[in-house]
Amino acid sequence: MGGGTRPKRAGSVWERPEPPRPAPLSRDRIVGAALEIADADGLEAVSLRKVGAALGAGPMRLYGYVESKEELLDLMVDTVYGEMVAAGAIGGPWKEALRTLAARLRAAAGAHPWFLGLLGGRPHQGPHALELLEQALAALRASPGFGEIDAVLQAVRTVHAYVVGALWSEALELRAGQSESEWQAAQWPYLQRVLATGRFPTLAEVVERATHPSSEEAFGRGLEMVIAGIEGGLARAR
Amino acid sequence: MGGGTRPKRAGSVWERPEPPRPAPLSRDRIVGAALEIADADGLEAVSLRKVGAALGAGPMRLYGYVESKEELLDLMVDTVYGEMVAAGAIGGPWKEALRTLAARLRAAAGAHPWFLGLLGGRPHQGPHALELLEQALAALRASPGFGEIDAVLQAVRTVHAYVVGALWSEALELRAGQSESEWQAAQWPYLQRVLATGRFPTLAEVVERATHPSSEEAFGRGLEMVIAGIEGGLARAR
DNA sequence: TATCTTGTCGATACAGTGTATCGATCGCTG
DNA sequence: CAGCGATCGATACACTGTATCGACAAGATA
């Protein structure tokens, strides 16, 4: 009998070693190819066939290195976390640490537009993701004011939540207002007409009167608000 | 020549009327069927074939009512916004308005787990989504302290960002820690082993020592932090 | 009333997806 | 050199969104 039944290996990708030596492929190469495709053509362009083809292999070949497409996506995600970690350690006073964390996530989302889309998939528990989280938690733990571990967790969670949500909004606005011109051409007149009905007066006022700051500035202002809120919570608890 | 070429209709779903009278189908029925499937079996179970079958029709039938699957998803999303709007107007003092907005979104995400997954798709510009936004903006506009329209926008954006991000986290934690027991069974031991390596000491401390509050409480605490931060920004601007 | 037009319906088809199966093949070990 | 175990690739399956086009039914016109 040939190598037929691929045994369901136990454990997770992070622990299971790659197939041994004489392999012209490797997880690194596979993930690298997948990253290139995703960066260039978006997440929906990443198919096992295309990734395989980029490496001169058939789709089934990849199943020796990865158990499902989801695992490949997990590996892609953790590679991005790896880039964030490689950008330098997160530390210093807690505010600075949180700002750095936010900036890292924003930079990653900017460099890999598909990254956000993978937030909804599976929890990010790869080694690099854990390391980034560890660094952030440790920086806060070491800062005065965060006596309770709960306060540390709460703060990091809140900032993380804000950042994720803000990056979503940013991505949507970018899409609606800039590229994909056909879509924009169709949607903008629609919005104009809807606002002209007078049913959404405040919204109309916002659209025409608000000074629309750059994405980065809006992001930063919101972040400072969140940080200020955390600080207030600290002061109250002390 | 038969009715062949379906002409590319201009404009957006929201404005284009349905096909006229003797139609055994309707957008309402189609969206309703799609909602049922999504609620029951998740978003990835929503296919034009299944939706059509649920209504005794073939997949192509739906293209008379909707131009693409994406438009169907848009309609589903706006239906959920409709439920939020129907739950009562958003108003009162600005803090209350923001809390109500947050609660509405959280309730919607709870009732329709797939809703969050559609955040990344296209901007939510359906009539009900706009109405919800309008109500929130108007409530803040009418509150003392929000002199500038920019402050209103910034506040709503920040709260919205936090809520979206927090709901994502909540959904992930729910998935990782509760249902889908097979996945949990595989991931929990993995985490245990990783933490046992000692490479993530703060993380380990969090896992074993933090009092893990209920999702709702964690959500609420973060929200109050964000609101406090907004209040601080207001006081500073005044 | 008979014909023509118009628009809708359903079947079929196509390109693409993730992945299960399994025969062939290749490299290492004895 | 023989045998074997692992790996590889082709094939196949069920499923997706949607383009195409023949058949049909209702409304308008003569």
Please name the residues between 3 and 42 in chain A that touch chain B, using a CB distance below 8 Å.
Answer: 10-12, 14-15
What pLDDT sits at residue B115? 97
| B230/A186 Cβ within 8 A | no
A101 touches chain B (CB under 8 A): no
* Alpha-helical runs (H) found in B112-211: 127-141, 149-177, 181-196, 201-209
Instruction: Give me the percent of chain A exceeding a pLDDT of 70.
Output: 87
* Residue recorded with tokens 């179970």: B45
Question: Average pLDDT in the A60-81 region?
Answer: 94
Mean pLDDT in residue range A49-61: 92
- pLDDT at position B2 is 33
- How far: A50 CA to C15 C1' (Å)? 14
Phi, psi of A213 (to 5 degrees): -70, 165
**Residue with nearest Cα to nucleotide C7 C1':** B3
Give contacts of B 180-199 with A, CB under 8 A. 183, 186-187, 190-191, 193-194, 199
Residue A24's pLDDT band, with cuts at 50, 70 and 90, is: confident
Q: B148, B202, B205: best mutation site toward chain A, by most A Cβ within 10 Å?
A: B202
Residue A216 has a pLDDT of 96
Question: Which of A99-103, A165-169, B54-58, B94-98 is predicted with the least confidence, judged by mean pLDDT?
Answer: B54-58
Phi, psi of A2 (to 5 degrees): -70, -175
Which residue bears the tokens 């990835």? B44
Asked if A11 and B125 come within 8 Å (Cβ–Cβ), the reply is: no
- Three-state secondary-structure class, residue A74: helix
Q: Is there a contact between B61 and B52 (Cβ–Cβ < 8 Å)? A: yes
Per-residue pLDDT of chain B (238 residues; tens, 9 = 90+): 333 334 445 567 777 766 554 457 889 999 999 999 999 999 999 999 999 999 988 899 999 899 999 999 999 999 999 999 999 999 999 999 999 999 999 999 999 999 999 988 889 999 999 999 999 999 999 999 998 999 999 999 999 999 999 999 999 888 766 555 566 677 888 899 999 999 999 999 999 999 989 999 999 999 999 999 999 998 877 6
What pLDDT does residue A1 have? 35
pLDDT of residue A11: 62
Residues 6+ apart with CB under 8 A from A177: A184
Q: Flag if A226 and B171 touch (Cβ within 8 Å).
A: no
- pLDDT of res. B25: 82
Give the per-residue pLDDT at B177.
62
The pLDDT assigned to B22 comes to 43
- pLDDT of A22 strictly over 50: no
Measured CA to C1', the nucleotide nearest A18 is: D7
Q: Give me the mean pLDDT over the A62-81 stretch.
A: 95
A225 in B contact zone (CB under 8 Å): yes
CA–CA gap between residue B58 and residue B167 (Å, rounded): 36
User: B168 contacts in A (CB within 8 Å)?
Assistant: 119-120, 161, 164-165
Interface of B with A in 110-139 (CB under 8 A): 116-117, 119-120, 122-123, 125, 127, 130-131, 133-134, 137-138
What is the structure's pLDDT at A182?
62
Residue A113 pLDDT greater than 80, yes or no: yes
Alpha-carbon gap: B87 to the closest alpha carbon of chain A (Å)? 19
Q: Does A238 touch chain B (CB under 8 A)?
A: no
Q: What is the mean pLDDT of residues A131-139?
A: 98
In which band, very low, low, confident or very high, does the pLDDT at A181 lie, cut at 50, 70 and 90?
low
Tokens 């284009």, located at residue: B16
pLDDT value, residue A163: 98
Residue type, A214: S
Choose the mutation target among A153, A187, A234 for the interface with B, i.e. most B CBs under 10 Å. A153
Residue B24: predicted pLDDT: 74
The residue that leads in pLDDT, A4 or A206, is A206
Is there a contact between A205 and B127 if contact means CB atoms under 8 Å apart?
no
Lowest mean pLDDT among A33-37, A121-125, A171-175: A171-175
Cβ–Cβ < 8 Å for B225, A226: yes
CB of A216 within 8 Å of a chain B CB? The answer is no
pTM over 0.85: yes
- Cβ distance A149 to B229 less than 8 Å, yes or no, reads no
Task: Check residue B220 and give left, alpha or beta (phi > 0: left; psi -120 to 50: alpha).
Answer: alpha
Q: Identify the residue whose Cα has the smallest distance to the C1' of D23.
A: B2
Distance B48 CA to C16 C1' (A): 16
d(CA B154, CA A214): 12
Task: Among A79-88, A175-184, B226-235, name the one with the lowest average pLDDT.
Answer: A175-184
Structural contact between residues B109 and B116, judged by C-beta atoms closer than 8 angstroms: yes
> Which stretch of A42-46, A195-199, B4-8, B173-177 has the lowest confidence by average pLDDT?
B4-8
The DSSP symbol for A143 reads S
Option in B15, B127, B162 nearest A161 (CB): B162
pLDDT interval class at A19 (50, 70, 90)? low
Strand D, nucleotides < 7 Å from a protein CB: these are 5-11, 15-24, 26-27
